[in-house]
Amino acid sequence: QVQLVESGGGLMQAGGSLRLSCEASGRSLRSFNMGWFRQAPGLEREFVAAISWNLGNPYYADSVKGRFTINRDNAKNTVYLQMNSLKPEDTAVYYCARDSKIFDSLSDSQGRYNYWGQGTQVTVSS
């Protein structure tokens, strides 16, 4: 079993920055792609960013490209999401997730991810 625990969320003014962390326990993340998703009130959960097991080019949703950066520290079994130039529309619960497949290509499909954290709230005020 894998447990994922997100942290780093909070309240921020528009234009500010936050860094989310996702720490895993139970098994190394080293061989798996990792993703970040978010769900705003009344909306479906959506893809935000993903990073490959081999630290190849990350993949971002168009809405966050150029503002968010995903990276990982395999030694710490942790994935990060650096969020800059935050906008009110970034307000959501943010979830990290682990790909179900080992050594595979990146995916933005939620169905590919089989372990999820409990989420951390990010609120951006205007």
Per-residue pLDDT of 25-73, as tens digits, reads 998 999 999 999 999 999 999 999 999 998 888 999 999 999 999 999 9
- Per-residue pLDDT, 57: 85
- Per-residue pLDDT, 117: 98
As a whole number of angstroms, the distance between CA 29 and CA 45 comes to 23
3 with 26: CB under 8 angstroms?
yes
Q: Which of 17, 22, 56 is nearest to 37 (CA)?
A: 22
Can you tell me the mean pLDDT for 79-95?
98
